[in-house]
Amino acid sequence: MFPFCFEWVWDMPHMVFMGGLWYALSIIGAGLTFAVVKSIIDMKSHDGQNQEHH
């Protein structure tokens, strides 16, 4: 899974597969971080007011 695991090889299959994986994980991570951070900022700026979102 990580390049420091001993079965890791820098070959095409590993790069494609793990590339895809880490790519997906980064998107999920970034998306989540964005939502959480933005919510904190929003909460501060709206002074704790609820927001209509529908």
Question: Taking a C-beta distance cutoff of 8 angstroms, is the pair 35, 26 a contact?
Answer: no
Q: How far is the CB of 20 from another protein (least distance, A)?
A: 8
User: Does 13 contact another protein by CB under 8 A?
Assistant: yes
Q: How far is the CB of 14 from another protein (least distance, A)?
A: 5
Q: In the chain, what are the helix, strand and coil shares in percent, each to the nearest 5?
A: 65, 0, 35
Ramachandran class of 48: left when φ > 0, alpha when ψ lies in -120 to 50, beta otherwise = left
Contacting residues toward another protein, per CB under 8 A:
1, 5, 7, 9-11, 13-14, 17-18, 20-21, 24-25, 27-28, 31-32, 34-36, 38-40, 42-43, 46, 48-51, 53
